[in-house]
Amino acid sequence: MKLASNPFSKYFQLIRLFWSTAISAELEYRMNFIFSALTSLGGLAGSLFGLFLFYGQGYHFQGWSWEEALIVVGIFTFLKGFSTAFLAANLNRIVKHVERGTLDFVLLKPISSQFWLSFHSMSLWGLPDILFGLFIVLYAGIKLKLSWTSYLSGLIPILFGATILYSLWFILGATSVWFTRIYNITEVLKGLMDAGRFPMVAYPVSYQVFFTFIVPVAFLTTVPAEALLGRANPSWIIGSGCLAIALLWFSNQFWRFALRFYTSASS
Amino acid sequence: MKRLYKIFQTLLSTYYAYMLEYRAELLLWALSGCLPIILMGVWTQAAQGGAFALTSAQFARYFLAIFLCRQLTVVWVIWEFEREIVEGKLAFRLLQPLDPVWHHVWSHIGERFARLPFIAVIIGLFILLYPSAFWIPDAGTLALFILVSICAFALQFLIQYTFAMFAFWTEKASAIQELWFLFHLFLSGSIAPLEVFPPGVRQVVEFLPFPYILHFPASILTGLPVDYLRSFLIMGSWAGIFYAINRYLWRKGLKQFSGMGA
């Protein structure tokens, strides 16, 4: 197949090729897909139950009604699906490439290695979570009578959130050049991400500081939810955008830096 | 008996040494179980503003205990067993005059000992940050907690090893475990103590095996009221049920096993 000469359409063409291969490989395991849909449904029911334990007893997070808190859960579920679909499949593979020395073959290809490693695969297993997440947001949005412009204004910070998540994940993945076997460093990230189930005001101040400035979970779910509800302070959204761009830039620089230490073991 | 003792001793020291090699990974695994610490934040905050069954300090202790219990009862036998079947490695284990399950049991116990220092450090660090969560349980409580934690680990292991048996028939037995884990996550008391569940839900959940793996030992440690007799009875019954199913599937599965790939 001939690739387009324009770099953008070239990369776009490549993504289409990568993903259609990945999807046809996954369609071999159709039963698994049903299982993952069931698992997502169970996870969602559990998240709602967890939230209900607070609201069922007349307590509510300061300034968040039940429907508003549901939007946070919806965005959380959506991002979980996003990371299963696009991040987990690719970035856990960096570790394998480094361990086996097959990263050489990636580096030899005439495209950006970060692009290749980040987009090579996608997993349909994340799809149920993405759909359920959107469904919850939509359900709560209808209950709250949100207009279509609110959804649009929520979209931008969600994109920033996804970029932040990707960059963090890629940076962690890149550290495998030094530490090799760190399959579970992403588990730590996933564990911390669970804090995104609840709006930030639900936490004590020390937790809020930690989840805003050290591990920026606040920008993943709370800020987009507030934007969607039309009450986000513009400075938070700008901050979110700056953080997303800075982290993306840093992930690229860090990757280049890490590659200088890559010694191509065992190949 | 003496022979078995010797075998176990050897297995434990071997697996302990093996696990020590993966210290960095163990630390990361220990850190990835931070969900109870996150939830502790939400619940202690909530207890200050709403009327819940537990006070803020009780929530903090409860979740610290849950954190500890989760670390003590982590089990991953199904992934190992699945790999042994898919790669046919079980065939070699079957040649040894020892039930292959003991390899898994002792590798889990060895890992637990290797993990202990990390757990201690994390808990110590936490108490430094949150001195109000600190309390010293008396010796009797502590002894009972250790006993119940061992039972909880055994039950958790037995359940997962039973699901692992399905690897004889399907390639993805771990999918069953993942579905089960969801129920475990939400019903075992790790997202909230059973005391704050709606009463109807709590009554049903108490007949299931989930709360006895985390909520029961954590309640003992934090001094929440516990019905010992009933809890032990239910825990024992579930262990009995899973043991019976496990042995039945093991015998059936071995007939089916062809040692493919070995």
Which site among B19, B56, B115, B186 would you substitute to test the A interface, given the most A Cβ atoms closer than 10 Å to its Cβ? B186
Is B189 domain-assigned?
A: yes
Residue A42, phi then psi, degrees to nearest 5: -60, -40
Alpha carbon of A58: minimum distance to chain B alpha carbons (Å): 7
Rounded distance between C-alpha atoms, residue B180 and residue B115, angstroms: 25
Counting residues of chain A whose pLDDT is more than 90, the rounded percentage is 39
Parent domain of A96: 8-259
Domains identified in chain A, total number = 1
Model confidence at B72: pLDDT above 80:
yes
The residues near A76 (Cβ < 8 Å, ≥ 6 apart) are A47, A133, A196, A197, A220, A221
Parent domain of B215: 2-256
Is A1 domain-assigned?
A: no
Model confidence at B69: pLDDT above 50:
yes
In the DSSP assignment, the letter for residue A86 is I
| pLDDT (average), residues B81-95 | 88
Rounded distance between C-alpha atoms, residue A198 and residue A254, angstroms: 31
pLDDT reported for residue A139: 94
Model confidence at B21: pLDDT above 50:
yes
Q: Which residues of B touch A190 (CB under 8 A)?
A: 32
Residue A19 contacts residue A90 (beta carbons within 8 Å): no
The alpha carbon of residue B23 and the mean position of all alpha carbons in its chain are separated, in whole angstroms, by 20
In a 10 Å sphere around its CB, with 0-12 CB exposed, 13-18 middle and 19+ buried, how is residue A147 labelled?
Answer: exposed
In the DSSP assignment, the letter for residue A262 is -
Model confidence at B262: pLDDT above 70:
no
Is B247 domain-assigned?
A: yes
Is B24 domain-assigned?
A: yes
pLDDT reported for residue A265: 61
Rounded distance between C-alpha atoms, residue B187 and residue A45, angstroms: 12
The torsion of the CA quartet A242, A245, A250, A252, rounded to 10 degrees, works out to 180
* Token pair of B170 as six digits: 């399907």
Is B262 domain-assigned?
A: no
Please, what is the average pLDDT of chain B? 89
Q: Which residues of A touch B51 (CB under 8 A)?
A: 57-59
Model confidence at B15: pLDDT above 80:
yes
* Token pair of A12 as six digits: 């776009």
- A→B contacts (Cβ < 8 Å), by residue, are 29, 31-32, 35-36, 38-39, 42-43, 45-46, 49-50, 53-54, 56-59, 62, 179, 181-185, 187-188, 190-192, 194-195, 198, 202-204, 206-207
Residue B97 contacts residue B6 (beta carbons within 8 Å): no
Is A3 domain-assigned?
A: no
In the predicted model, residues of chain A with pLDDT beneath 50 are: 267
> CB–CB of B185 and A187 under 8 A?
no
User: What separation in angstroms does the CA of B173 have from each of B76, B182, B214?
Assistant: 12, 15, 24
pLDDT reported for residue A267: 46
pLDDT reported for residue B130: 77
The alpha carbon of residue B149 and the mean position of all alpha carbons in its chain are separated, in whole angstroms, by 8
pLDDT reported for residue B243: 96
Domains identified in chain B, total number = 1
Q: Which residues of A touch B197 (CB under 8 A)?
A: 53
Is B261 domain-assigned?
A: no
Q: Which residues of A touch B49 (CB under 8 A)?
A: 59, 62
pLDDT digits (tens, 9 = 90+) for B134-157: 788 889 999 999 999 999 999 999
